[in-house]
Amino acid sequence: MRVGLLTEGGYPYASGESWGWCDRLVRGLPGHDFEIYALTTGARQEARGWERVPEHVRLVRTAPLWGEFPEEHRRHVEERRGRTAARRDRRRFAEHFGDLAAAFGSQPPEGPSAAAGGGPGEPAAGQADRFAAGLYGLAELAREHGGLPALLRSEDAVRILEGACRGHRALRAAQGAQLQDFLAVTEHLELALRPLSLDWYGDSFDPGLGGVDLCHATSGGAAALPGLLAKRFFGTPLLVTEYGVRLREHYLARAAAPLSAAVRALLAAFQGALVAETYAQAALITPGNTHARRWQQRCGADTARLRTVYPGMDAARFASVADAQPDDSKTLVWVGAIEPAKDLVALLHAFAEIRRAEPEATLRIVGGVGRAPQAAGYLAHCRSLAAQLFPDEAADARTIGENPVTFEEIGGPDLPSLEDAYASAAVVVLSSVIEGFPRSLVEAMFCGRATVSTDAGAVCEVIGGTGLVVPPRNPRALADAVGALLGDPERRARLGAAARARALELFTAEQNITAFRGIYLELISRAPARPAACPAVDAQGVPRPFARPAESHVPGRWAGPAATPAADPAGRTPSWAKAARAEPVGAYPGEEAAGPSNADGGATGRADGPAGRPGRTTAVPVGAGALRRLGGGAHA
């Protein structure tokens, strides 16, 4: 099977939360061929380059969601000259962008007609249809014309958006928008809709996403857009995996950005409509936890197409830590990215209460600055608060004083690895007020450590009774729970053992890979006869997915008595053998082999990692005698 893996801000670049599980997934499924279509989110990410990818990654294509639209990524279309063609394109753009802007720029209708909508990102049925019509109309225009990025930043786009926000049903927050607000929105829309204009959807030289059997988007939003177009143009099944809900992340990011209320409202409405369309078109949606699943249901996802698949993590690296329990330790360990949502201020105040009961207790805060805009200032504030609450202490008059709270990063002399951080812990603490899937808790569970956490995100689902959970923003409750565990080593050991058993059952990389292997085969079994994957048709044009038997795809030539099957008593050669001899698809060494222009139009190549320039495709031809895929089907 050929899988198109769609990413945004992550794999194959060594950045983003999705990198780890994407890499484990690709490496864990060597029986499938992967093509990676990656959207980058900044110059720093591209400058770091790719991580090395496995041999069965056929190719890697990247495109930026920042800066100006690069000409090397523009789809090659026939140049259209003349004023008549230009006017026709502008009329088509006005029609389709008008539908798009009217759909996300207006309020859902009230009354019975609005029954189909209601979620935070779910428009009413009529608005959803109009949004889809505008979105795919712009995609068709981009395929034929190629100038969509310039049109989205044009004066026409600003006027159309302004007209949509001046109607009687316009969003209340957008009714007072000014010219600079519309300019900001159209600029963001050009970036968000950039996948519509990319050269990823196939031509006479390269099938692109038209040649894959399945599109797997690692998040909603922009990453899923190429998958939506592949389904629209070629009927390719779309799988959407979200371990952090993209719409929720968008809301949080926009709330912290220096944007006006009108701009935030319009961009949130656009993202909500895009997510609703993604969920409506996806063959299957795999949230990473129940918390994400509830968000997806509120945004319009069909419950019948939701299947929870926990993210897989490497348990082997923590096995040695689980064997060494620090019975007499009084060390608390917090691990994560330091930013306001982690509420380290509450943790520091709770630790002040803990120190009154356990004077020997220490707190290690392990992690770097988070991605939130206020993260650097928040870290400085936490350091200052720790210095005020806990002045440096010394054992005697000749000893240098030390603070019981330390801020450390992995790789230092006292903390060379993440395993060392967990190994020093008697209790691992999580104090977040906002949390998605708590990776640090799962790592602590793999290490067999007792945990105390706040009830945020998927914490309760992950812990499942193997740790203590307290309300967020409650330092006293956090201090009481930690103090109870510090004073009872036997209870810590019991909770740690139960936590490790639960983590090994639910959160390993092996269970994640097994789940996706089954999902891939299930989805491809539902769509064996889509036109892009099945070139053989009958007289009425109906696809015939099994018209060519598997034997006809075996490398090598069918010739000679040894290769000819026995004829029937009437002397006739079976039809399947005729097809096999008539359509050789491979060659032995030294003979001419099928190259990139094979029967299904698939490009044969792979990406070799950092050697390829970011933003460009690196393809290496497959050697002679390589197995050709079965006309768009699977060859796992």
Question: Strands 238-242 and 214-217: what pairing?
Answer: parallel
3, with CB counted inside 10 A (0-12, 13-18, 19+), is: buried
Task: Give the whole-angstrom CA distance, residue 272 versus residue 257.
Answer: 18
Count of CB atoms situated within 10 Å of the CB of 439: 18
Measured between its terminal Cα atoms, the distance across the chain in Å is 6
Predicted confidence at residue 420, as pLDDT, reads 92
* Series of mean pLDDT values for 10-residue runs along the chain (636 residues): 91 74 92 93 83 90 88 59 73 94 82 48 76 95 86 93 86 87 94 92 79 91 93 94 79 76 91 93 93 88 94 90 75 95 96 94 93 89 94 66 88 85 95 91 95 94 95 96 94 95 95 95 79 63 60 50 47 47 39 40 41 41 34 38
Q: In terms of residues, how long is the chain?
A: 636
Predicted confidence at residue 527, as pLDDT, reads 73
Cα 189 to its chain centre, rounded Å, is 20
How many helices (H) does the chain have, and how many strands (E)? 21, 12
Predicted confidence at residue 391, as pLDDT, reads 85
Predicted confidence at residue 579, as pLDDT, reads 44
385 in Cβ contact with 352 (< 8 Å):
no
Question: 413: Cβ–Cβ under 8 A, 6 or more apart, which residues?
Answer: none
Sign of the dihedral through C-alpha 408, 409, 412, 417? positive
Predicted confidence at residue 112, as pLDDT, reads 45
Give strand pairing partners of 242: 287
* Residue 15, both tokens: 């950045």
298 in Cβ contact with 119 (< 8 Å):
yes
Predicted confidence at residue 531, as pLDDT, reads 57
Task: Give the whole-angstrom CA distance, residue 175 versus residue 152.
Answer: 21
Sign of the dihedral through C-alpha 45, 51, 56, 58? positive
- Ordered domains of the chain (ranges, CATH): 316-506 (3.40.50.2000)
* Alpha-carbon distances, residue 80 vs 88, 92, 146 (angstroms): 11, 15, 10
454 in Cβ contact with 433 (< 8 Å):
yes
Question: 465: Cβ–Cβ under 8 A, 6 or more apart, which residues?
Answer: 498
Sign of the dihedral through C-alpha 466, 469, 475, 481? negative
